[in-house]
Structure 1
Amino acid sequence: MISNRQKQQGVALVVSLIILVSLTMLGLTSIQRTTTDLAMAGNQRETGLMFQAAEVGLSSAETFIGNSTTNADFKNAGLGLITVPDDNPAYNGPDYFRPNWNTSSQQASTALDAWEQPRYMIEYLGDRSQNPLAGVNIGSYGTIQSGDIVSIYRSTSRGVGLTVNSFRYVQSYFGKDKP
């Protein structure tokens, strides 16, 4: 006859194997979660750097517009300076997603820890009269009176992250007294 102790030896082995497998699965799950958390933190840092670079590019573009005294620079469509054609109402702007921004844009004057420095394009959209009935003052600080002529610009900036494959575009409109 088999004693109680001999019957329990097989059960103890099975129970210990089940516990070992469950602890192994728990450990693997925690390792996988840690790896995922690290990847998410890296992506968050990359995204922040891309947007920071793009914002620096917009700031540089607005500084360029603010310091320019004439719109003549936009007539020849120099690097990153574009005039919207008056005779083309369906104009949607340049191809912002073209692969070579280095030959068709201006570089922002800053030093960021990114793959490449931010770049921007400025489109001169033309001159508009400030509408006295509109509830919006494009000067935003009250410097432009109703009826004044305002030059409108659209700035598009491209910020690149830590790798060449990660980039973001940011766009803004800027208006100032006609030079």
Structure 2
Amino acid sequence: MNAQYCFHAHVHTVSAMSSHVPQGLSRAQQGAALVVSLIILVIMTLLGVTAIQVTTSEEKMVANLREFNIAFQAAEAALNRGEEVAKNLVKPNPSNNCANQGLCNPVCSTALGNVPQCQGKLDDPPIWESIDWGLNKADGSYTGPALIYGAEKFKDEDFRSKNRVTIASFPTDSVARQPRYIIEDISPGNVPSATIYDGLYRITAQGYGQTLDSSGQPIARVTLQSIYKK
């Protein structure tokens, strides 16, 4: 009987231990699982926010690059047009501040050398920096000194009319503003003869992107320049 009593007591003790220890472990495991879940949730949230920010930045970069490409192509077209116009000049009559239809006397500069027709003080800002490229009337038409691509108004005494090529402007929905250009006569002496004037010209063109900012200005603009010798 004593042996049986001890045996039953031993079994009872083991049973009590096996029923008590797993309960404590279960609570600890549940707490750890909750902490791990919260950490994973925070990490996933941060990754999601970062992914959204990266996507937004990439979209802005793509949009800006597209605007730049449009502006560059427009400026390049205007520059080529300016070279074609310079090629057909007969007896150019450039003026100060490009007042005569985009035909300009250059600003005097040390680098330019002896150009008697230059304007302003020596080494003043160049003409393409001083004129207003974006001066517009209330109706949106341009009133500044530059020549508008596809909408030039030429004088026969300045250009060879027989070689004049008419071109179409850019579609209004493709650019925020039509590209434009100016032609500076930088020929030494600038003495046009009765025949075709064999001159040296500096052509500056400006093109614009497709979109305007909140102030009504193109968000992208590109300025190109070339020296053209007839």
TM-score using structure 1 length: 0.76
How much does 1:127 deviate? 4.1
The 5 A counterparts of 1:15-164 are 15-71=36-92, 73-74=93-94, 77-84=99-106, 86=116, 90=123, 92-96=125-129, 98=132, 99-100=134-135, 102=142, 103-109=144-150, 110-112=169-171, 113-127=174-188, 150-162=198-210, 163=212, 164=217
Query: What secondary structure does 1:39 align onto?
Result: helix
Larger Rg: 2
How much does 1:150 deviate? 4.6
Any unmatched runs of 5+ in structure 1?
Answer: 129-148
Report the count of equivalent residues. 155
Identity %: 33
Give the aligned partner of residue 140 of structure 1: none
How much does 1:119 deviate? 0.5
Stretches (4+) displaced over 4 A: none
Looking at structure 1, the residues matched to 37 and 126 of structure 2 have their Cα atoms a distance apart, in angstroms, of 69
Residues 80 and 87 of structure 1: CA distance in aligned 2, closer, same or farther (over 3 Å): closer
Q: CA RMSD in A?
A: 2.4
Give the strand-richer structure, 1 or 2: 1
How much does 1:95 deviate? 4.5
How much does 1:50 deviate? 1.1
Looking at structure 2, the residues matched to 13 and 74 of structure 1 have their Cα atoms a distance apart, in angstroms, of 81
Give the aligned partner of residue 229 of structure 2: 175
Any unmatched runs of 5+ in structure 2?
Answer: 1-19, 109-115, 137-141, 151-168, 190-196
The answer to whether the 8 A contact 1:127-1:150 is kept is: no
Looking at structure 1, the residues matched to 199 and 149 of structure 2 have their Cα atoms a distance apart, in angstroms, of 22
How much does 1:43 deviate? 0.7
TM-score using structure 2 length: 0.61
Looking at structure 2, the residues matched to 161 and 18 of structure 1 have their Cα atoms a distance apart, in angstroms, of 46
Looking at structure 1, the residues matched to 26 and 104 of structure 2 have their Cα atoms a distance apart, in angstroms, of 90
2:149 aligned partner, one-letter code = A
